[in-house]
């Protein structure tokens, strides 16, 4: 009897196994690999639905806060430049509000955040403080002084800043702008400045421009040395290459999207270099807190005691911010970040009744503000401390990123969710800051480069066909991270393998649909798009005359050294005296061992050539106007010595192609 039962049971298991294998095979056969966008799979739907039960989506407080104080909006939220070109179009995101329920192709938490970020217009924050929100990536704030407006952070572009000023003047009465405050050095907070003030008014003393110490250097330099690579990666991070729809770009978490208008810069007239500095601007008292080295190299928060209002800059936000930004930048210091927030609580938290930032929406009431800032402080401190705790136990960054979870008191707050940063990559940022890229395992000390490694992996795994066969099974099982990992080897070993490209795209797409972080979603979906359709360049901002004029000579020479192609200058030994006739500055430049170096204030003996020019002529070169010979011929650049060596050196400099490959070799 027992043997009979075991035989029957064995037959039953065999039938079940055959049925399961048959169903799996049928699912694999039904897997359509083509270059079209796919719907969310059952695994993705399950993943997204799990979050709905985890978070309280019945909590509408953020929607209410975002509407509070509404005065007026642009009749149509489309902003154009003088030639009629669209620089910002919020109507592209109308689809976000056509249904209360998030689609299967979007993480419901990110969808909620994006819906709130489409609430736009002019809002009263408190007496004498107003904001125009969501006509650019950041907010622009207006403080009513005795005679005019004090403007905080004039956005990314001239056009969006001007439209915001026009909107408030239309509804609250026209007032002159008496001051501009730059909270920090990131490019969504100052380049629209000439949309609200003129350089002439600043030079005449009619308008102050106030910024944290180090602003000019940080504003220019952060995006120069690796600027080309950052620019390309930004096209992924902000989803500029993606269509705006339920399967594409649904917003960036920090803001909806960036404007694509005119970029300008006016240098500050006044700098804040320490906490405790105060200033009265047009009758408005401002107490400053200097907060560098966290969210930005140069940044400050400040307090308006007359209005009991904190401007939290971008130190406190309605999202977990980046300790490392996916576009690429130096890792930020989580410990300093937490300490800045704590200092702000100690300085201003006793009496503050309103807190507003350069992104997202304000918060009102002292208890609410202190709790909000405390939870944001603890968020960054927890990530910092616990990452290092695990690291000191010997765990690697990739292990810690999977192990570390936030306490319920932190993770259940919508303003601590990873809409812009993420817990996963912020953990890796803390590890990198303290321990660098190497995890201590000697197997990872000298890894093969991607293409060579991928060719060997594919060979070891039985060839591309076998890899794809196994990867399809993993895809059907919903294991998209593994599919993305393993199929990437096939793509890098053979970029022309269409089946690999399409399967990789499908896996990345599902990961994008699941992502709570806007940049993660955009990276995944942009990768899928380029795997299916190739690289498609889109309009991108270019260096403006204002930015070029602000670029220091030292920074240019450092960047010039990066562009030296050693194969073209092998064995050359050159030297140049560079004189700026109007600045009375000299630089001695040498090229030896394929290295360009300079010494400020030195005039070398017997140089290959001596070059004299004005800063204005230098600015023309900075703008990429390759007119060296013309400038020499018309006398704007004077050269003594072997001028042909100077021309030859300039012709050896590499030009960087922005639209290099990311998702394939």
- Tell me the helix, strand and coil percentages in the chain, rounded to 5: 45, 15, 40
CA 37 to CA 57: how far, in whole Å?
A: 28
CA 472 to CA 467: how far, in whole Å?
A: 9
Do 236 and 539 form a contact (C-beta atoms < 8 A)? no
- Return the higher-pLDDT residue of 288 and 630: 288
Please report which confidence band the pLDDT of residue 646 belongs to, taking 50, 70 and 90 as the band edges.
confident
Please report which confidence band the pLDDT of residue 30 belongs to, taking 50, 70 and 90 as the band edges.
low
Please report which confidence band the pLDDT of residue 27 belongs to, taking 50, 70 and 90 as the band edges.
low
* pLDDT at residue 520 is higher than 60: yes
Percent of the chain with pLDDT over 70: 94
- Print the SS3 string covering 129-176: EEEEECCCCCCEEEEECCCCEEEECCCCCHHHHHHHHHHHHHHHCCCC
Calculated CA dihedral for residues 645, 647, 651, 653, nearest 10 degrees: 70
Q: Is the pTM of this model over 0.85?
A: yes
Do 379 and 342 form a contact (C-beta atoms < 8 A)? no
CATH topology for the 45-383 domain? Metallo-beta-lactamase; Chain A (3.60.15)
Model confidence pLDDT, tens digit, residues 420-429: 999 999 999 9
The per-residue pLDDT for 475 is: 98
CA 315 to CA 311: how far, in whole Å?
A: 10
Strands 309-311 and 208-212: unpaired
Range 88-96 average pLDDT: 97
Q: Write down the CATH number for the domain with range 7-36+450-508.
A: 1.25.40.880
* pLDDT at residue 547 is higher than 90: no
The per-residue pLDDT for 541 is: 63
Do 222 and 288 form a contact (C-beta atoms < 8 A)? no
CA 598 to CA 578: how far, in whole Å?
A: 10
Q: What residues does each domain of the chain span?
A: 7-36+450-508, 45-383, 552-652
Range 132-140 average pLDDT: 98
The per-residue pLDDT for 629 is: 79
* pLDDT at residue 485 is higher than 90: yes
Task: Identify any residues that bridge with 254 across adjacent strands, giving them in sequence order.
Answer: none
The per-residue pLDDT for 420 is: 98
Model confidence pLDDT, tens digit, residues 491-505: 999 999 999 999 999
Model confidence pLDDT, tens digit, residues 188-205: 999 999 999 999 999 999
Do 150 and 181 form a contact (C-beta atoms < 8 A)? yes
The CATH superfamily assigned to 552-652 is SCP2 sterol-binding domain (3.30.1050.10)
Please report which confidence band the pLDDT of residue 369 belongs to, taking 50, 70 and 90 as the band edges.
very high
* pLDDT at residue 25 is higher than 60: no
Do 258 and 156 form a contact (C-beta atoms < 8 A)? yes
The per-residue pLDDT for 26 is: 53
The per-residue pLDDT for 578 is: 96
Percent of the chain with pLDDT over 90: 86
* pLDDT at residue 13 is higher than 50: no
Task: Identify any residues that bridge with 309 across adjacent strands, giving them in sequence order.
Answer: 304, 354
Among 15-24, 470-479, 583-592, whose mean pLDDT is lowest?
A: 15-24
Task: Identify any residues that bridge with 637 across adjacent strands, giving them in sequence order.
Answer: 613
Indicate the length of the chain as a whole number.
665
Do 639 and 609 form a contact (C-beta atoms < 8 A)? yes
The per-residue pLDDT for 194 is: 98
* pLDDT at residue 24 is higher than 80: no
The per-residue pLDDT for 18 is: 53
Model confidence pLDDT, tens digit, residues 144-177: 999 999 999 999 999 999 999 999 999 999 999 9
CA 500 to CA 532: how far, in whole Å?
A: 10
The per-residue pLDDT for 6 is: 47
What are the angstrom distances between the C-alpha of 460 and each of 76, 335, 383? 58, 44, 38
CA 326 to CA 234: how far, in whole Å?
A: 8
Strands 140-144 and 149-152: antiparallel
DSSP assignment string, 436-455? -S--S-GGGTSPPPHHHHHH
CA 210 to CA 286: how far, in whole Å?
A: 11
* pLDDT at residue 409 is higher than 50: yes
DSSP code at position 124: E
The per-residue pLDDT for 650 is: 85
The per-residue pLDDT for 20 is: 47
The per-residue pLDDT for 364 is: 98
| Cβ within 8 Å of residue 153, ≥6 positions away | 138, 139, 140, 141, 181, 182, 183, 189, 190, 358
Please report which confidence band the pLDDT of residue 28 belongs to, taking 50, 70 and 90 as the band edges.
low
What are the angstrom distances between the C-alpha of 522 and each of 181, 267, 510? 31, 34, 12
Q: What is the mean pLDDT of the chain?
A: 93
Range 358-387 average pLDDT: 98
Which H or E element spans position 633?
A: helix 628-633
CA 508 to CA 514: how far, in whole Å?
A: 10
Please report which confidence band the pLDDT of residue 16 belongs to, taking 50, 70 and 90 as the band edges.
very low
* pLDDT at residue 22 is higher than 60: no
Model confidence pLDDT, tens digit, residues 618-627: 888 777 656 7
Rg (CA), the chain: 28
CA 498 to CA 441: how far, in whole Å?
A: 35
The per-residue pLDDT for 588 is: 98
The per-residue pLDDT for 545 is: 82
């Amino acid at each position: 009897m027992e043997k009979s039962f075991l035989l029957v049971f064995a037959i039953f298991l065999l039938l079940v196994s055959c049925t399961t294998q048959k169903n799996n095979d049928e699912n694999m056969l039904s897997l359509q690999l083509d270059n079209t966008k796919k719907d969310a799979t059952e695994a993705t739907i399950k993943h997204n639905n799990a979050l709905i039960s985890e978070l309280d989506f019945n909590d509408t407080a953020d929607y209410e806060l975002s509407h509070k104080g509404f005065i007026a909006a642009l009749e149509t939220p489309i902003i154009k430049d003088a030639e009629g070109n669209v620089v910002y179009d919020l109507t592209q995101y109308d689809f976000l509000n056509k249904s209360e329920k998030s689609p299967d192709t979007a993480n419901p938490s990110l969808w909620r955040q994006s819906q709130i970020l489409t609430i736009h217009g002019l809002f009263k924050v408190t007496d004498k403080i107003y904001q125009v929100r969501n006509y650019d990536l950041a907010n622009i704030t207006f403080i009513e002084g005795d005679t005019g407006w004090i403007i905080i952070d004039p956005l990314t572009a001239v056009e969006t800043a001007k439209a915001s000023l026009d909107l408030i003047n239309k509804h609250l009465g026209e007032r002159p702008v008496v001051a501009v405050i730059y909270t920090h050095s990131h490019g969504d907070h100052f380049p629209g400045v000439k949309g609200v003030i003129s350089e002439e008014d600043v030079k005449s003393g009619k308008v102050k421009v106030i910024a944290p110490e180090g602003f000019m250097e940080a504003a220019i330099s952060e995006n120069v040395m690796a600027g080309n690579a950052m620019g390309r990666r930004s096209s992924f991070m902000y989803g500029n290459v993606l269509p705006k729809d339920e399967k594409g770009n649904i917003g960036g978490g920090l803001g909806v999207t960036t404007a694509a208008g005119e970029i300008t810069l006016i240098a500050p007239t006044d700098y804040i270099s320490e906490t405790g500095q105060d200033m009265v601007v047009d009758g408005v008292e401002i107490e400053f807190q200097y907060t560098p080295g966290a969210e930005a190299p140069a940044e400050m928060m400040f307090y308006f005691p007359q209005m009991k209002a904190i401007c939290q800059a971008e130190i406190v936000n309605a999202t977990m911010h980046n300790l490392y930004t996916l576009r690429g930048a130096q890792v930020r210091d989580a410990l300093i970040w937490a300490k800045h927030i704590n200092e702000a609580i100690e300085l201003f938290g006793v009496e503050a009744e309103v807190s507003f930032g350069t992104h997202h929406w304000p918060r009102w009431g002292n208890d609410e503000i202190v709790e909000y800032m405390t939870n944001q402080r603890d968020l960054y401190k927890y990530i910092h401390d616990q990452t290092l705790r695990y690291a000191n136990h010997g765990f690697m960054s990739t292990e810690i990123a999977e192990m570390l979870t936030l306490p319920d008191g932190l993770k259940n707050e919508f303003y601590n969710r990873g809409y812009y940063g993420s817990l996963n990559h912020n953990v890796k940022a803390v590890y990198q800051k303290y321990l660098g890229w190497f995890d201590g395992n000697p197997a990872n000390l000298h890894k093969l480069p991607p293409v060579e490694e991928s060719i060997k992996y594919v060979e070891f795994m039985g060839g591309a066909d076998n890899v794809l066969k196994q990867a399809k099974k993993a895809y059907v099982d919903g294991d998209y991270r593994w599919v993305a990992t393993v199929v990437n080897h096939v793509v890098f070993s053979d970029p022309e393998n269409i089946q690999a490209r399409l399967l990789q795209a499908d896996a990345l797409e599902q990961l994008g649909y699941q992502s709570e972080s806007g940049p993660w979603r955009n990276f995944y979906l942009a990768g899928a798009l380029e795997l299916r359709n190739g690289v498609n360049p889109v309009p991108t901002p270019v260096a403006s005359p204002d930015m070029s004029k602000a670029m220091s000579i030292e920074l240019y020479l450092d960047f010039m050294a990066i562009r030296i192609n050693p194969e073209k200058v092998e064995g050359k030994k050159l030297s140049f005296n560079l004189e700026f006739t109007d600045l009375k500055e000299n630089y001695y430049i040498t090229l030896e061992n394929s290295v360009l170096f300079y010494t400020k204030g030195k005039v070398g003996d017997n140089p290959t050539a001596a070059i004299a020019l004005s800063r204005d002529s230098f600015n023309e070169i900075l703008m990429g106007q390759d007119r060296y010979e013309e400038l020499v011929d018309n006398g704007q650049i004077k050269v003594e010595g072997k001028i042909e060596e100077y021309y030859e050196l300039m012709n050896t400099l590499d030009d960087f192609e922005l639209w290099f490959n990311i998702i394939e070799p």
